[in-house]
């Protein structure tokens, strides 16, 4: 039976790499293995598992946060934020790149959708940065890395799904992720400032005359609409969760309503926009939940054939310490991130390793933050980082793939160093507890 568990895992992983739909591969192959190798009576528990997933109140936050993110994307908020933030930093060397990082942080805290953030910032800021004389490598690296901050900065859909799989509080994961996420942002900004100081020609400031023209009539209102309103929404959503006033699901509802109000303030709200947002939200939510149901069937069959017991026995026989096993899991997730999406990793790999972490009595909140940071790193890593493909798809023709790959390397190194730092110093994760 242990060999069957291993074959089940490998066959699903290989079929996904081959290009078969994830949701149907997870559920379909698992059912076939169950029919062949399990007693018919085992199936009686499966409907209860599926209904347990569908009745999970926390997972209601997923469509609400998705709605919030897509609505803010349609509102034109990113354009206003980038323009205003760039002018606020004025003539500072590297100021435009720093504004991209800060806007990426704000978008991460208000949308959490990596693909949408990278594409939006690539379309808006990359041509501007190139026009102002920024080195293409620095410009593309800054945009791609800032766009993936939605993986770690709450309210992150990654953290919601991890909370469900790890069976820990999503609110605690949000609280634990806040300090590491902000420290990572400071690391990006520090690198940009140092590089701009050493090589000012790669990150020039904005000309004073252009800055003076922007700070004319109506400057205060533009800053208020572009910066203060989104900040109020972020404080309302995250503040209510961190203070214990609202659950993540309730806060997601507040965020969805706040996104509609912000879009109205931006003058972009129409019935067509609402229909488009609802349609995209339905598509994304259906995709997530179909994969989740397939993953539920997979984890059920994997455990029924003794896969979790076999894995624990194998680790014990290998005499791996908790640290060695953690390093092995991090390496597997990092490599898997080159080939498959974060949702598949969360629903395929994480449920398999959770019982082993429980055996080692490792804090699952800390593990969740490490996995989220790792997934963010894999989004950026050449040659298969998804964020790099998103950016290349919207980059001007003169920006080459090689420039994008070279530009992301320093940010990936920052990510890896920071991941190791959080592994060595778990206290960073629990500073707000």
Q: Give the pLDDT confidence of 221-242 residue by residue, as tens digits.
A: 777 777 777 778 878 888 888 7
**Mean per-residue pLDDT, 82-100:** 78
Give domain limits for the chain: 2-430
> What per-residue string of b and e applies to 21-33 under the rule 16 or more CB within 10 Å gives b?
ebbebbbbbbbeb
| Whether 132 contacts 405, CB under 8 Å | no
According to the model, what pLDDT value does residue 410 have?
Answer: 93
Query: With bands split at pLDDT 50, 70 and 90, how would you rate the model's confidence at 213?
Result: low
- Is the peptide bond between 386 and the residue preceding it cis, with omega within 30 degrees of 0? no
By mean pLDDT, which of 114-118, 168-172, 390-394, 415-419 is the weakest? 114-118
In degrees to the nearest 10, what's the CA dihedral of 182, 188, 194, 195?
-170
**Mean per-residue pLDDT, 106-125:** 72
| Whether 304 contacts 37, CB under 8 Å | no
**Mean per-residue pLDDT, 384-394:** 77
Cα separation, 346 vs 333, whole angstroms: 9
Query: With bands split at pLDDT 50, 70 and 90, how would you rate the model's confidence at 414?
Result: very high
According to the model, what pLDDT value does residue 214 have?
Answer: 63
Query: With bands split at pLDDT 50, 70 and 90, how would you rate the model's confidence at 217?
Result: low
User: What does the mean pLDDT of the chain come to?
Assistant: 82
Asked whether the predicted pLDDT for residue 400 surpasses 90, the reply is: no
According to the model, what pLDDT value does residue 186 have?
Answer: 94
Asked whether the predicted pLDDT for residue 216 surpasses 90, the reply is: no
According to the model, what pLDDT value does residue 193 have?
Answer: 92
Cα separation, 383 vs 257, whole angstroms: 39
Cα separation, 24 vs 11, whole angstroms: 13
Asked whether the predicted pLDDT for residue 191 surpasses 90, the reply is: yes
> Higher pLDDT residue, 388 or 110?
388
Burial class (CB in 10 A: 0-12, 13-18, 19+), 369: buried
Q: What is the pLDDT of residues 331-386, one digit of tens each?
A: 888 877 776 667 778 887 888 888 889 888 899 999 999 999 998 887 787 766 77
**Mean per-residue pLDDT, 30-34:** 87
């Amino acid at each position: 039976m242990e060999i069957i568990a291993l074959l089940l895992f490998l066959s699903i992983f290989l079929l996904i790499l081959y290009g078969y739909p994830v949701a149907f591969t997870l559920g379909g192959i698992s059912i076939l293995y169950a029919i062949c190798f399990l007693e018919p009576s085992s199936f009686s528990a499966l409907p209860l598992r599926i209904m347990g997933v569908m009745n999970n109140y926390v997972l209601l936050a997923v469509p609400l946060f998705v709605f919030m993110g897509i609505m803010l994307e349609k509102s034109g908020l990113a354009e206003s934020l980038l323009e205003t933030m760039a002018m606020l930093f004025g003539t500072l060397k590297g100021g435009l790149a720093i504004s991209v990082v800060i806007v990426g942080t704000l978008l991460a805290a208000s949308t959490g959708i990596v693909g949408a953030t990278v594409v939006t910032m690539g379309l808006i800021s990359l041509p501007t940065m190139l026009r102002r004389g920024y080195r293409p490598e620095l410009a593309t690296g800054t945009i791609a890395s800032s766009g993936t901050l939605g993986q770690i900065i709450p309210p992150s859909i990654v953290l919601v799904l991890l909370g469900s799989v790890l069976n820990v509080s999503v609110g605690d994961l949000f609280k634990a992720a806040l300090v590491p996420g902000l420290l990572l942002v400071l690391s990006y900004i520090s690198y940009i400032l140092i590089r701009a100081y050493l090589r000012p020609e790669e990150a020039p400031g904005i000309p004073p005359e252009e800055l003076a023209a922007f700070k004319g009539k109506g400057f205060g209102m533009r800053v208020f609409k572009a910066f203060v309103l989104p900040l109020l929404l972020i404080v309302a959503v995250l503040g209510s969760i961190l203070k214990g006033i609202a659950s993540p699901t309730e806060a997601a509802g507040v965020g969805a309503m706040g996104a509609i109000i912000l879009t109205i303030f931006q003058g972009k709200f129409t019935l067509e926009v609402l229909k488009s947002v609802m349609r995209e939200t339905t598509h994304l939510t259906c995709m997530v939940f179909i994969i989740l149901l397939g993953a539920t069937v997979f984890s059920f069959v994997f455990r029924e054939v003794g896969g979790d017991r076999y894995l624990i026995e194998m680790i014990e026989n290998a005499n791996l310490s908790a640290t060695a096993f953690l390093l092995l899991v991090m390496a597997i997730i990092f490599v898997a991130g080159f080939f498959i999406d974060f949702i598949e990793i969360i629903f395929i790999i994480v449920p398999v390793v959770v019982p082993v972490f429980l055996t080692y009595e490792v804090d699952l909140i800390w593990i969740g933050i490490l996995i989220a940071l790792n997934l963010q790193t894999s989004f950026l890593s050449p040659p298969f980082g998804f964020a790099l493909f998103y950016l290349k798809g919207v980059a001007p023709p003169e920006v080459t793939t090689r420039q994008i790959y070279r530009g992301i390397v320093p940010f990936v190194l920052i990510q890896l160093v920071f991941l190791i730092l959080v592994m060595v110093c778990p206290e960073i994760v629990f500073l707000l507890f």
